[in-house]
Amino acid sequence: MRHSLPVAPQFFVTAPQPCPYLPGRTERKLFTAMQGEHAGALHDSLSKQGFRRSQNVLYRPSCGDCTACLSARIRARDFKPSRNQSRVLHRNADLRRRIIAPRATREQFSLFRSYLDSRHADGGMADMTLMEYAAMVEETPVNTRLVEYRDRATRELVAVCLTDILDDGVSMVYSFFDPSRAATSPGTFLILDHIGIATGMALPHVYLGYWVPGSARMGYKARFHPLEVYAGGKWQEVHDPAHFPQAAHPLSVEPVAEQVARITLPDLRPAKG
């Protein structure tokens, strides 16, 4: 007897665990796996509906009593840097960008470990090994690149971003940098440079991951304009961050079955031939 995988993706929910952004709250994720010839189409479609990628999994928050986490993206074609952002570009003019295939190296991992030890020593990735780092970089069923930044003079690796190419933008999956260069604002520079990458490819958006109003760790994302967030089933421009409160009430969250029912899927039928 011949068996085939279901055409429609199957959605699941993780068990609740402590929220990494807002103290005293728990988080839960809705997720599905990507596989086969339609992985790219599913990735493109669900990214437009607030999902993010981690290896071959797409996920978005589905917390039981909170809707504070909002998927965020910059409208790259309409972006104009502020004075401070222009200074950040100038301070990092000594860096040279190189876009390569998603292949992990020990040099990248050494920089990755320095970044984690300096800025996220108590985070969920703090104990990541070289093999786990390689899996994060290389296990991708979609169009993914590594963007490396090196000092023009010394050729030293200074920053790296794992970047997905979508049909309507670039998605910054994960980035890290030399913590000794913190004074030059390399995190801000990576976003600014990805805006340049997107506009150079005639793609309208830069996807930043999740923005959490009230979280100091996420506040920097609100400094990029125009910023859009996925809320209430649509993308909305953020004019005032205060208009997006930290919603925390069971009635503010739809049941999981209704969330799944509202997801729009691309045509995933097998190609004829």
> pLDDT of 168-221, one tens digit each?
999 999 999 999 999 999 999 999 999 999 999 999 999 999 998 877 778 889
Q: In the structure encoding, which two tokens stand for residue 100, read together?
A: 């390569």
**Residue spans per domain, the chain:** 12-71+246-261, 72-243
Give the separation between CA 168 and CA 149, rounded to whole angstroms: 24
**Residue 3 confidence (pLDDT):** 46
Give the separation between CA 142 and CA 208, rounded to whole angstroms: 18
Domain 72-243 class?
Answer: alpha beta
The model's pTM: 0.92
Q: How far does Cα 8 stand from its chain's mean position?
A: 24
Neighbouring C-beta atoms of residue 24, cutoff 10 Å: 7
Interval 119-133: pLDDT, tens: 876 766 778 999 999
Instruction: Kindly list the averaged pLDDT for each block of 10 residues, start to end, along the chain of length 273.
Output: 61 93 90 94 98 97 88 97 98 98 98 91 79 97 98 98 98 97 97 98 97 83 95 91 66 84 86 59
**Distance between first and last Cα of the chain:** 22
Cβ-proximal residues to 158 (8 Å cutoff; 6+ apart), any chain: 95, 111, 149, 150, 151, 177, 178, 181, 186
**Residue 1 confidence (pLDDT):** 42
**Residue 248 confidence (pLDDT):** 59
Question: How are strands ordered across the β-sheet holding 12-13?
Answer: 12-13, 29-33, 57-61, 52-54
Cβ-proximal residues to 122 (8 Å cutoff; 6+ apart), any chain: none
